[in-house]
């Protein structure tokens, strides 16, 4: 019974975490840009690339705009492969361009 309870708890926590961060639908992005809720994506890409000198737009492998339901903030995530072929995940505040995290993938 303890195993079943633990399984349900883990499932509930996973689902809750998924609701806290949700990808923004592409059709909503123009409105967010227009009202200044998020910064131009090209500027955000440049801010992420600046964290890895020598990297160019060709080094960007993936990008995501997410809404954090808990804080109401928008976060822009950029996956970069640097000149040494290492993969990095750079997370930025989508309104200001401030780097929130810059972590190497394992």
Q: What is the CA radius of gyration of the chain?
A: 17
Distance CA 94, CA 76 (A): 5
pLDDT in tens for each of the 106 residues of the chain? 554 443 344 433 333 333 456 899 999 999 999 999 999 999 999 999 999 998 999 999 999 999 999 989 999 999 999 988 999 999 999 999 999 999 998 7
Distance CA 3, CA 19 (A): 25
Token pair of 71 as six digits: 């804080």
Token pair of 3 as six digits: 């195993």
Q: What is the pLDDT of residue 20?
A: 56
Question: Which CATH number is 21-104's, of 3.20.20.80, 3.40.50.1110, 3.50.50.60, 3.10.450.40?
Answer: 3.10.450.40
Instruction: Sketch the domain layout of the chain as residue ranges.
Output: 21-104
Q: Where are the beta strands (DSSP E) in 16-105?
A: 21-23, 60-68, 74-81, 87-93, 99-104
């Amino acid at each position: 019974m303890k195993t079943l309870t633990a399984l349900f708890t883990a499932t509930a926590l996973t689902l809750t975490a998924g609701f806290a961060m949700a990808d923004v639908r592409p059709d909503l992005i123009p409105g967010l840009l227009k009202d200044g809720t998020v910064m131009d994506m090209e500027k955000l890409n440049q801010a992420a690339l600046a964290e890895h000198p020598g990297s160019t737009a060709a080094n960007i492998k993936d990008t995501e705009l997410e809404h954090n339901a808990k804080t109401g903030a928008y976060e822009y995530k950029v996956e970069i492969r640097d000149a040494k072929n290492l993969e990095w995940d750079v997370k930025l505040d989508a309104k200001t361009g401030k780097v929130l995290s810059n972590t190497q993938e394992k």
